[in-house]
Amino acid sequence: MSRVIVVTSGKGGVGKTTTSASFSMGLALRGHKTAVIDFDVGLRNLDLIMGCERRVVYDFVNVVQGEATLKQALIKDKHTPNLYVLAASQTRDKDALTKEGVGQVIDGLKEMGFEYIICDSPAGIEKGAQLALYYADDALVVTNPEVSSVRDSDRILGILQAKSKRAEEGMEPIRENLILTRYNPERVEEGEMMSWDDIVELLGVPLLGAVPESEDVLNASNAGVPVILHEGSPAAQAYEDIVARYLGEERPQRFLTAEKKGLLKKLFGK
């Protein structure tokens, strides 16, 4: 049995691709055969974050249009034999993807025995984002703790519930999970950002985990290594937790509260 997981947000630049890369790496490292697809046609960057951009010969669009086979287009990850990347095309325009074509690719991946198929959605709520979520069984809704991001996540949840295949065919609804990224408890406490409990209350979706704001994310993506592999980094621990919880492990939430400042720090500031 395979599961199709869409990583989506509505708003751009909130951490979908970062999350797709680390989440799929985390699943693969635990022994699950995983494929991750970049739906952001025209703005290829999953392959950069995964560090395989120089090995892209054929891409997702080539497969959808029948110009290459899935086998030819799947790029095997350097770190684990369980992970494969299907890159987006930089040269085609967004209309190159069709519902039928995407469906065939996903069926093909299922036949090849992939347990998890991760779909890295483009930003927005229009065609590209709708295609990325159409075949999903599960959704990871990525949100930053700010009003506009939460609002967009709310919109995308409405679309998940109305325009996905599961919704259209009256099947059991998509399982929704919330991932808060770039979470900064200090700024939340100072009232500059929305708190996690307000966000969960508004969206009505269970929190899978929070990823703290961390410089390691940018460094990792510059190095072409998913941040989950960055040992000792809080962002890596957060994604590790998220993968474990997704697979059913109980782990207490972390990174949601600010560390208590010592008396000296309190007196002399940060």
Partner 1 sequence: MTQPIELKGSVMSFTVLKVHSDDIGQVQHALAEKVQQAPGFFQNVPVVIEPTVTALPPTFLAQLMEILRQNGMMPIGLRTQDEAIRQQAEFAGLGIFDIETGKRARAERAKREKGESCAAAPGKLVLKTIRSGQQVYAKNRDLVIIGSVNPGAEVYADGHIHVYGALKGRAFAGAQGDETARIFVSRLEAELVCIAGLYILAEDIPPAIRGKAVTAFLQNEKVEFSELP
Ligand X SMILES: Nc1ncnc2c1ncn2[C@@H]1O[C@H](COP(=O)(O)OP(=O)(O)OP(=O)(O)O)[C@@H](O)[C@H]1O
Is 103 annotated to bind a ligand? Reply is no
**16 labeled binding residue:** yes
- Closest approach, Cβ 132 to Mg ion, in A, equals 10
> Out of 15, 26, 128, 209, which residue is the one contacting ligand X (CB under 6 A)?
15
- 16 touching ligand X, by CB under 6 A: yes
Q: Is 204 annotated as a binding residue?
A: no
What is the nearest approach in angstroms of ligand X to the Cβ of residue 19?
Answer: 7
By CB under 6 A, tell whether 210 contacts ligand X.
no
Find where tokens 């919704």 sit: 167
Q: Which is nearer to partner 1, 163 or 266 (CB)?
A: 163
Under rule CB under 8 A, residue 202 binds partner 1: yes
Tell which one of 162, 263, 264, 267 touches partner 1 (CB under 8 A): 162
Output the 3-class SS for the chain. CCEEEEEECCCCCCCHHHHHHHHHHHHHHCCCCEEEEECCCCCCCHHHHCCCHHHCCCCHHHHHCCCCCHHHHCEECCCCCCEEEECCCCCCCHHHCCHHHHHHHHHHHHHCCCCEEEEECCCCCCHHHHHHHHCCCEEEEEECCCHHHHHHHHHHHHHHHHHCHHHHCCCCCCEEEEEEEEECHHHHHCCCCCCHHHHHHHHCCCEEEEEECCHHHHHHHHHCCCHHHCCCCHHHHHHHHHHHHHCCCCCCCCCCCCCCCCHHHHHHCC
Minimum distance from CB of 117 to partner 1 (Å)?
24
Q: What is the dihedral of CA 67, 41, 107, 141, to 10 degrees?
A: 170
155 binds, among ligand X, Mg ion, partner 1, none (CB under 5 to 8 A by kind): partner 1
- Contact call for residue 165 and partner 1 (CB under 8 A): no
Total residues in contact with ligand X, by rule CB under 6 A:
19
Minimum distance of Mg ion from residue 66's CB (angstroms): 26
Q: Decide if residue 206 touches partner 1 (CB under 8 A).
A: no
Residue with tokens 């961390």: 214
State the residues that interact with ligand X by CB under 6 A: 9, 12-18, 40, 123, 181-182, 211, 213-214, 217-218, 221, 235
State the residues that interact with partner 1 by CB under 8 A: 95, 125-127, 147, 151-152, 154-155, 157-158, 161-163, 202, 204
**Annotated binding-site residue numbers for ATP:** 11-18
**Annotated binding-site residue numbers:** 11-18
